[in-house]
Amino acid sequence: MTPATPPHVTRSSFVSFMAWLGIISGALTAVGTCFAVVTHPTLPMLVGFLSGVATLATSLGLRQRKEWARIGFIGVIAYSTLMGFVGAARIRMPELSQFGATGGIGQEQLEALMPTLRATALTGAVAVALFNVLIILKLSSRTVREEFGAEPEA
């Protein structure tokens, strides 16, 4: 069996690290959401399960230096970035009456915290997005593309 990486190109630690990070997080996501899909089947749970499977599959291919996996992993990162913004936009406070005792805080006080919580979530989503852009740029770099045996850009 021939290796995916050309013999004259070294295997970068960055790609290996990203692959293992994706393998671990994809497996945990797939297993965790699998149980949720079985016990409480909803479309968001199914989408979460499928994103975990996609992360796991592309990460396994990334570890083997498959070009389709490099492109797919970039797609997974882009999708997770988008979902971070969707999650920040959809954040809402629960109704305290659902939980019984409130510990002295009222629903009005909780609702007053909403702008701060939304701003914090959006700031976090922006920070993660910037970090993900750096990862995508690195995975799109000439040296990483050569490591995967991709055709050079014209």
Q: Do residues 129 and 84 touch, judged by C-beta distance below 8 A?
A: yes
Residue 126 lies in a domain: yes
Instruction: Check whether 146 has a pLDDT greater than 70.
Output: yes
pLDDT band for position 11 (cuts 50, 70, 90): confident
Distance between CA atoms of residues 114 and 10, nearest Å: 49
Q: Do residues 135 and 18 touch, judged by C-beta distance below 8 A?
A: yes
The residue among 152 and 39 whose pLDDT is bigger is 39
pLDDT averaged over every residue in the chain: 86
Residue 70 lies in a domain: yes
- Tell me the residue length of the chain: 154
Q: Which domain, by its residues, includes 79?
A: 13-91+108-147
Q: Report pLDDT for 120.
A: 92
Model confidence over 79-131: pLDDT tens digits?
A: 999 999 998 888 876 666 566 655 666 677 777 888 888 899 999 999 999 99
Quote the number of domains for the chain: 1
Residue 98 lies in a domain: no
Q: Report pLDDT for 91.
A: 80
**Is the dihedral angle over the CA atoms 15, 75, 117, 49 positive or is it negative?**
negative
Instruction: Check whether 2 has a pLDDT greater than 70.
Output: no
Residue 97 lies in a domain: no
Q: Report pLDDT for 122.
A: 93
Q: Which of 91, 61, 90, 79 is nearest to 128 (CA)?
A: 79
Q: Which of 136, 8, 40 is nearest to 80 (CA)?
A: 136
